[in-house]
Amino acid sequence: MITIAGREASRFCDGVRRRDFLKLGGLALGGLSLPQLLQAEAQAGVTSSNKSVIMIFLAGGPPHQDMFDLKPDAPSGIRGEYNPIHTNVAGLDICEHMPRLAGMMDRVAVIRALVGAGPDHSAGQCLTGYTDRLSKVQGGRPAFGSVVSKLKGPIHPDIPPFVGLSPRTGEVRWGNPGEPGYLGLTHSPFTPFRGETQGKRFMNQGIGDAGLNLDQSVITPARLSGRKSLLHTLDEIRRDLDRDLDAGGMDEFTRRAFDVLASRRVFEALDVEREDPRLRARYGVGDMKNEADGPPCCMDHFLMARRLVEAGVRVVTISFGRWDTHGDNFRSCKERIPKLDKALSSLLEDLHQRGLEKDVSVVVWGEFGRTPKINTSAGRDHWPPVNFALLAGGGMRTGQVIGSTDKHAAYAKDRPVTFQNVFATLYHNLGIDPGSFVYDKGNRPMRLLDDLQPIHELI
């Protein structure tokens, strides 16, 4: 634990003195102190290109037949209430509540026959490529972002390679930003929205004992002002620290840890109010409050993700909305689908306008699909046999549909694609061989995937 002394006597409302101490050892990622994390990264990490991935998880299982695989000729108890609309790709129709995406489907690839989903509510398979049950048997499969952190390391010393924007949720598996598994806490994501309650915050300014704790109550003008005040404080501490370093008061890794925490890169990337208000309005702000036990529909997170990858983050994860629609499927999805349409289309357009569409891969999916048959509560239940995924950017060949389902969207009809095929494609886009190995805690070599084949239509 490292304490940096200061001179100011002012206190925050929780009684902590602003400058009496800044305990870097307590500012940790996943329980590991930041100096330890950086030291471990330096021992293993090799930096490489600026390719990156944004992973968007639709918690609870989005209804594939009401979004990207509509069956208008199916019986009324199956086809649902929404109508298909044409897109700018001939023969590719999607839900009427996604008009903005319809105008840019040439930048998207739709996988309509995603198979192999597990039966459990969880973000796990969309983060690792493995079902939770198999992952547990194998010692805890690391999330994609953790693997990338291990194999690539940080692009910039003061930017973490893996950031999870998912807040804590009542159903904890829906708010999972990605776990490092047997790679260890060194490769945990940097999680700015998963801090302790406000009364427990270390400095009552967005920093706490789990990292940058900028949870959903923080993204307000008043809280942003607090972060800017904190930056000013950190700048002052940096000047004091420079004098201490001249006297040999701090080792290299502690200094790097401080650089991450004091860096304007992280704070500025998260501060969407720095953007042109017209661009932020195009994304939409959304709701920072969780949907019951699921994540919020926060469109700001899409803009943050773009800002983070532009700043040098390699992998960003987002949990967007609660899609577990056992009842009232069509009313609730009519509220969520337009929000996804607005945020996702804005992200893809933004990446294109900034020349990032070849460097940043985007994937959108959920843990499984939903039943073809509409139940008596006007809902759809869990349906693991088939699901959908969207892929964009990353230099992939987009503007196409891969795979198809039967007339009721119940089973894959042709060209089934597995979760691991998608992961193999994302690894390929980052320049990582899907057949590479990492080592578990017993020092046993573990291949990244069992199914090593990328989706050949995309690459």
As a whole number of angstroms, the distance between CA 229 and CA 182 comes to 38
Most distant CA pair in the chain: distance in Å?
Answer: 78
Q: What angle do CA 123, 206, 262 make, to 5 degrees?
A: 100
3-state secondary structure of 338: helix
**Whole-number pLDDT of residue 29:** 41
**Whole-number pLDDT of residue 42:** 53
Residue 44 pLDDT greater than 90, yes or no: no
Q: State the average pLDDT for the chain.
A: 82
To which residue do tokens 């003195």 refer? Answer: 17
3-state secondary structure of 112: strand
- pLDDT 10s digits, 150-172: 999 999 878 889 999 999 999 99
Which of 324, 288, 286 minimizes the C-alpha distance to 123?
324
Average of per-residue pLDDT across 380-386: 98
- The partner residues of 318 in beta bridges, in order of sequence, read 56
**Whole-number pLDDT of residue 264:** 74
- pLDDT cut 70: percent of the chain above it: 74
Superfamily of domain 46-227+263-447: Alkaline Phosphatase, subunit A (3.40.720.10)
Q: Which of 48-52, 164-168, 302-306, 379-383 has the lowest mean pLDDT?
A: 48-52
- pLDDT cut 90: percent of the chain above it: 66
Which of 334, 388, 312 minimizes the C-alpha distance to 149?
312
- The partner residues of 414 in beta bridges, in order of sequence, read 404
pTM: 0.81
Q: Please, which pLDDT band fits residue 357 given cuts at 50, 70 and 90?
A: very high
3-state secondary structure of 228: helix
As a whole number of angstroms, the distance between CA 109 and CA 401 comes to 6
Determine the distance from the C-alpha atom of residue 125 to the mean position of all C-alpha atoms in its chain, rounded to a whole number. 13
- pLDDT 10s digits, 74-127: 999 999 999 999 999 999 999 999 999 999 999 999 999 999 999 999 999 999
**Whole-number pLDDT of residue 9:** 39
- The partner residues of 391 in beta bridges, in order of sequence, read 109, 363
